[in-house]
Chain A
Amino acid sequence: MDGGKDIDPVPARPDEAQDPSRIGVDDWVASHEGRRDRGEGLLAEIRTELERVPRPAFFAGFGVAAALLPLFTSNDYIVRVGFDTLLYMLLALGLNIVVGYAGLLDLGYVAFYGFGAYGYAMLASPKFGLHWDTLAIIPVVVVATAILGFLVALPSRRLLGDYLAIVTLFFGQLFVTVYQNGNRISFLGLTRSYDLTGGPNGIPDVDNYDLGGLHIGSVRGYYYVALIIFLLVLGCVYLVDLSRTGRAWKSLREDPLAAELMGIPVKRLKLIAFACGAGIAGLTGTLFAGLNTAVFSANFDVATLIIVYAILILGGAGSLGGVILGALVVNVSLEVLRTPGHATWIFYVVLAATLIAKVRPWKRLAVLLVATIGLGYAAHAIVSSAWPRGVEGSASVGGWFGDGLNGWELHPSNPRFIGNLAFVALVFAVLLLTMIDGWKRLAALVPTLYLASFVWENRLVVEPSITRLILIGVILIVLMNARPQGLLGTSRVEIV
């Protein structure tokens, strides 16, 4: 024991305490806010300062920044990526109501998105010869989608958790199937077959948005329309979140039975949450159909659902800022991967940043880097003399960095098979890393890093569509370990 330290006197018994009003008020609880989520150092200070800024100011800041984006680029592709990101934000915003606030696991969500897109396409295309005004279509589609959401939730309003997830997943699949085969729908086999959805060919030649005579025909136009719609919906959701309804949703997420017994009509609120989420998804669908001028059922399958969920979980379910940040991280990072040069830069920068952040002290880091670089040059020298075909390819990135990589990395001329093997080996190597410790881990990290860069250069960078899914998986796994509440979510306590 530390002899010099003063030992607190034994606390008085509660009934003998000098100041009875202090009973139960302990300092640990009083300093709760100060302890929560707060680390030390600069990052923590920045976070403390940011938490003081009211959220609407953040949203306004985001709106201004997003509005300026198209002015700084002449590249329509970048604006298009921005538009897609806004669509994902809208989708995540709707899902946030159902999953984040009300705590209902809705796996059929993307069907509402498709319903909205098809609804717009049917009312504004030569398909049925209808060319309604967009300002008329939007309310009709949003209300219809909300009613659909209400109807889907109606039989499942008594279901919880896993059961609800399965029922809604079925609904989502049912939607895709119906729309894929909707070109020969016959009512109970009694009537002749009608073509409602165009089947696998979808509905082409959909009209652009026409807002009361204002024709939106360009990507930039859609970007601004999407931004305005997003900010409006964000504002609405924010206000509802603060209201009586928002509190009721959160309380039923916390404890449905207690909520019911505190006078909250839990079933009705679940239906409202479903309908609100579905309405927002339907609205997003009209934007999608308006810009793409064609809809196909394949646009609304499980892959889209997974991305929306990834955004929501990554950003932090229940957090509006998290919706924005999650969509930016997921969609922008996925788009960047399409250009191999950029992707490779990001890969190595992220790798280096992770190592610098995680490997301590710096001597150990230096040993690791020197060993990895040395291993690379040694392997390159051996392979180039023994098996020249193994270094025939070249790095995916140019400039000095690419030249350096060319002398370090192995690039077989036909890397498909060996690259796949290496990928499997990499997965096992990473799993092995999680099981060992200390100097063994450091030693194993050297070949693993080299293997990772080999797999990246030879397989992942040339197949961005697969790499993006792997990347989302990796981001989610890492995040769920490091920060289970998501980037901007607040940590939740389930049982205490």
Chain B
Amino acid sequence: MSERLLELDEVSKSFGGLQCIERLDVHVDEGEIVSVIGPNGAGKTTLFNLVTGIYAPDGGDIRFEGQSIVGLEPHEITARGIARTFQTLRLFLNMTVKENVMAAAWSHTRAGIFRSILRTPGMRREEKEIEALAEQRLAFFGERLMGYRWDQPAYSLSYANRRRLEIARATATNARLLLLDEPAAGMNPVETHEITQLIGELRSKGGYTILVIEHDMHVVEGISDRVIALDHGIKISEGTFDHVATDPRVVEAYLGASATKTK
């Protein structure tokens, strides 16, 4: 069996009286693409926020590469190798496309203020490396984010390109695990098809392990090794796409109890 990259062990999180995640066990193995599905409010994004350290879990443990990451600052978790994108895009809108990606290289670069002022050879080399890294990450998306786009502010990009830029930015952190929060939201059918292929390429060419939240079942079907269905913070089903999609509890969560009865 391949290595357990991410492991959530009986993780719980509540806000006031609202139990968002309850004793949730999730694991992602090295090289896997796992999809998380569920109705709105099921706790999918909360799951991401717990893994990335925005929220601290009330109970349970989260392990990455076998080590607990509970209590670490979000930037420390990113430095360990988990990067994410956002459901509501959060780009650095007034920075250029290239700067957006370059900024994400922070955790694996070193030059401080004094070296920047003195422009030491090491700092200049590092700066070149960061630039090359950004260009390489942007090149992953074909022509979309190339050429003249590099020096344009991120706000000038179309919606789909912003989603791509967010993925490029996340990969520039040199993470091993990518958490993609609804990568196909707001995309047209062609772009959705493209993003499905792209997620596959992120694994096959980039070597990333991917945990993805997605509502578009075509995407989920196209990419997933394994699907996890959440409802009200509880895992209601897990397995291959076909298994989860036909699970009565999943159908019930999406369509209501009557749908399963009339079936």
Contacts and interface: CB of A to CB of B under 8 A. Distances in A.
Note whether A and B form a binding pair.
Answer: yes
Contacts of B106: 244, 248, 262-265
A15 B189 contact: yes
**Most chain B CB neighbours (cut-off 10 Å) among A25, A29, A244, A261:** A261
Contacts of B157: 29
A44 interface: no
A260 interface: yes
A20 B193 CA distance: 13
Contacts of A251: 92, 95, 99-100, 103
Contacts of B75: 260-266
A492 interface: yes
B169 interface: yes
Interface in B86-103: 86, 90-95, 99-100, 102-103
B127 A236 contact: no
A14 B190 contact: yes
Given A263-B104, A263-B107, A257 B90 contact: yes
Nearest to A272: B113
**Most chain B CB neighbours (cut-off 10 Å) among A247, A257, A259, A492:** A247
Given A14-B190, A33-B152, A262 B169 contact: yes
B189 A239 contact: no
A245 interface: yes
Closest 9 CB pairs of A and B: A263-B107, A243-B116, A263-B78, A254-B92, A258-B90, A262-B104, A14-B190, A493-B155, A251-B103
B160 A244 contact: no
Interface of A: 14-15, 20-21, 23-26, 29-30, 32-33, 236, 239-240, 242-248, 250-251, 254-255, 257-266, 272, 276, 490, 492-494, 496
Contacts of A15: 189-190
**Most chain A CB neighbours (cut-off 10 Å) among B84, B119, B156, B169:** B156
Contacts of A21: 142-143
Contacts of B104: 262-263
A242 B74 CA distance: 25
A492 B144 contact: no
Contact of B94 (A20, A242, A493): A493
A287 B168 CA distance: 47
Given A15-B190, A260-B73, A493-B93, 9 more contacts: A14-B191, A24-B191, A25-B143, A29-B156, A243-B116, A243-B123, A250-B92, A254-B94, A493-B94
A367 to B, nearest CB: 44
A250 B130 CA distance: 17
Contacts of A33: 148, 151-152
Nearest to A20: B190
A345 B185 CA distance: 61
Contacts, number: 137
Contact of A492 (B94, B112, B152, B190): B94
Interface of B: 52, 54, 73-75, 78-79, 83-84, 86, 90-95, 99-100, 102-109, 111-113, 116-117, 119, 123, 126-127, 130, 142-144, 148, 151-153, 155-158, 160-161, 169-170, 172-173, 188-191
Contacts of A276: 113
Contacts of B127: 243-244
24 contacts: A24-B158, A24-B191, A29-B156, A29-B157, A240-B117, A244-B102, A244-B109, A247-B102, A248-B103, A250-B103, A254-B94, A254-B95, A255-B90, A255-B92, A258-B90, A258-B91, A261-B78, A262-B83, A262-B104, A263-B108, A265-B73, A265-B106, A276-B113, A496-B155
Contact of A245 (B79, B108, B112, B158): B112
A236 B156 contact: no
B190 A23 contact: yes
Contacts of A259: 92, 103
Contacts of A242: 116
Nearest to B174: A263
A32 B102 contact: no
Contacts of B160: 24
B138 to A, nearest CB: 14
A245 B103 contact: no
A251 B94 CA distance: 9
A247 B99 contact: yes
A239 B119 contact: yes
Contact of A254 (B93, B109, B161, B188): B93
B166 to A, nearest CB: 9
A32 B156 contact: yes
Nearest to B164: A24
A239 B107 CA distance: 20
Contacts of B95: 247, 250-251, 254
A20 B143 CA distance: 11
A262 B173 contact: yes
Nearest to A493: B155
B156 to A, nearest CB: 5
Contacts of A247: 95, 99, 102-103
Contacts of B151: 33
A67 B91 CA distance: 43
Nearest to A255: B90
B83 A261 contact: yes
B80 to A, nearest CB: 10
A248 to B, nearest CB: 6
Given A239-B119, A261-B83, A244 B111 contact: yes
A25 B160 CA distance: 11
A254 B86 CA distance: 15
A392 B138 CA distance: 75
A263 B144 CA distance: 25
Contacts of B191: 14, 23-24
A151 to B, nearest CB: 19
B103 A239 contact: no
A26 B158 contact: yes
Contacts of B102: 244, 247
Contacts of A494: 93
B95 to A, nearest CB: 6
A250 B74 contact: no
Contacts of B188: 14
**Most chain B CB neighbours (cut-off 10 Å) among A32, A240, A263:** A263
Contacts of A260: 73-75
A249 to B, nearest CB: 10
B145 to A, nearest CB: 10
B257 to A, nearest CB: 38
**Most chain A CB neighbours (cut-off 10 Å) among B95, B106, B151, B157:** B106
Given A26-B158, A264-B103, A240 B152 contact: no
